[in-house]
Amino acid sequence: MMGVSVHGVSLLGPGLSNWAEFHEIVAGRRPYHQGQETRIPIPDVLPPTERRRSSAAVRCAVSAALEALRQGGMDGRDVATVFATSDGDGAITHQICDGLSRSEREVSPTAFHNSVCNAPAGYWCIATQATTSSTTICAYDLSFAGGLLEAAALATVESRPVLLVASDLPSPFPLHAVRPVRHALAAAVLLSPSSGSRALMRWVIRLDRSLPVTPPPSFVAETLLANPIARCLPLWSALARNAEEEVVMEYVDGSVVAVACRPQG
């Protein structure tokens, strides 16, 4: 069992521009409007060169990371990072595979360095001057649960704050046909092993088997779930409601990642 405190959290998705909006929707004080696109800001922390070179996938992940970090009031230079993604950057994959299918076989150097799965992590480290450890993981549909496990192990074993940043974006045609992610969604959470007075919640995380998986919150429309990172929503809802409950997420081969949520204060 791994105990971590939650110091900051964020969400960026269709009709969800930040954590405060999600909080209002969960509380029933604001309706959730379906059918919107995710509006991805250009993060102000990126230096001009990186701002110009960054892809939507980078901007999406970095924006979510920034909101959670600022909410937790920590300095990015002190925080290790775990980036989780199911598919990496489908737009870059498309651009490169399309270029390779033509007779000139041109690959742009910028597209190539953006093609590494840890591109958002690289941009984040440059933007925040974080020289700390950074890992990028992938577990297909289970990438959020896998990333949470990796982040919790890093925070507890090395006794340091860790920022988990999970994100996925739709791929362009024709890749979209084989991996129909509907919209861009990014979620980040700032964890530390110690329970501070400013923590939003305490999570006790464990691997288990054969427990029923927690369903998504009631307001969540089917379309919102068409992104693997949406599997964070039951846990994000528990955070928003400050609820004492156990959230269970599917992981590999019948195993689950179970999070016992303990409200603070």
Nearer to another protein, 26 or 64 (CB): 64
Q: Report residue 41: phi and psi, to 5°.
A: -75, 165
Q: Which two tokens stand for residue 204?
A: 């006790």
One residue of 153, 204, 226, 243 binding another protein per CB under 8 A: 153
251 binds another protein (CB under 8 A): yes
Nearer to another protein, 45 or 189 (CB): 45
Stretch that binds another protein, among 24-32, 37-45, 196-204, 245-253 (CB under 8 A): 245-253
125 binds another protein (CB under 8 A): yes
Contacts of 190 (CB under 8 A, 6+ apart): 6, 7, 8, 9, 68, 69, 71, 72, 74, 79, 161, 162, 163
CA distances from 136 to 117, 159, 244 (A): 7, 19, 30
One residue of 38, 156, 192, 237 binding another protein per CB under 8 A: 156
CA torsion, points 29, 144, 85, 227, in degrees to nearest 10? -50
Stretch that binds another protein, among 67-75, 108-116, 181-189, 211-219 (CB under 8 A): 108-116
Q: Are 124 and 65 in contact (CB under 8 A)?
A: yes
Name the burial class of residue 52, with classes exposed (0-12), middle (13-18) and buried (19+) by CB atoms within 10 angstroms of its CB: exposed
CA distances from 224 to 36, 168, 184, 189 (A): 10, 12, 10, 19
Paired with 128 in beta bridges are none
254 binds another protein (CB under 8 A): yes
By CB under 8 A, the residues from 38 to 57 that bind another protein are 50, 53
Nearer to another protein, 31 or 180 (CB): 180
158 binds another protein (CB under 8 A): yes
137 binds another protein (CB under 8 A): yes
Nearer to another protein, 203 or 251 (CB): 251
Report the C-alpha gap between 196 and 201 in whole angstroms.
Answer: 10
Stretch that binds another protein, among 64-72, 146-154, 184-192, 215-223 (CB under 8 A): 146-154
Region for 35 from its dihedrals, namely left if φ exceeds 0, alpha if ψ lies in -120 to 50, beta otherwise: left
**Secondary structure of residue 260 in the 3-state scheme:** strand
One residue of 107, 221, 226, 243 binding another protein per CB under 8 A: 107
One residue of 38, 86, 192, 227 binding another protein per CB under 8 A: 86
Smallest distance, another protein to C-beta of residue 44, A: 17
Query: Residues in the site for another protein, rule: CB under 8 A?
Result: 1-2, 50, 53, 86-88, 93, 96-98, 100-101, 105-109, 112-119, 121-123, 125-126, 128-140, 143, 146, 149-150, 152-154, 156-158, 173-175, 177-179, 207, 209, 251-255
